[in-house]
């Protein structure tokens, strides 16, 4: 239950972050991420018959 505990503790009490994954670094250099456009990603995935990999993140 560590993730739940961390979420509650940090967000509620400290207003810091739940995640170490959050930085301003862009992963796009290695993988061609589409930013914040699900319809565009869906259309591209259907056209190419490949799945969509989604990274759901927050800048904190």
Which chain residues interact with other proteins by CB under 8 A? 1-7, 9-11, 14-27, 29-38, 41-42, 44-46, 48, 50-60
Q: Are 58 and 51 in contact (CB under 8 A)?
A: no
CA distance 35 to 37: 6
CB of 40 to other proteins, least distance (A): 8
Residue with the two structure tokens 């259309």: 43
CB of 47 to other proteins, least distance (A): 9
CB of 8 to other proteins, least distance (A): 11
């Amino acid at each position: 239950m560590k993730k739940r505990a961390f979420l509650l503790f940090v967000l509620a009490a400290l207003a810091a972050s739940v995640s170490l994954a959050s930085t301003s670094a862009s992963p796009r250099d290695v993988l061609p991420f589409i930013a914040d456009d699900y319809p565009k990603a869906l259309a591209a995935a259907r056209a190419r018959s490949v799945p969509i990999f989604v990274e759901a993140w927050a800048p904190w």
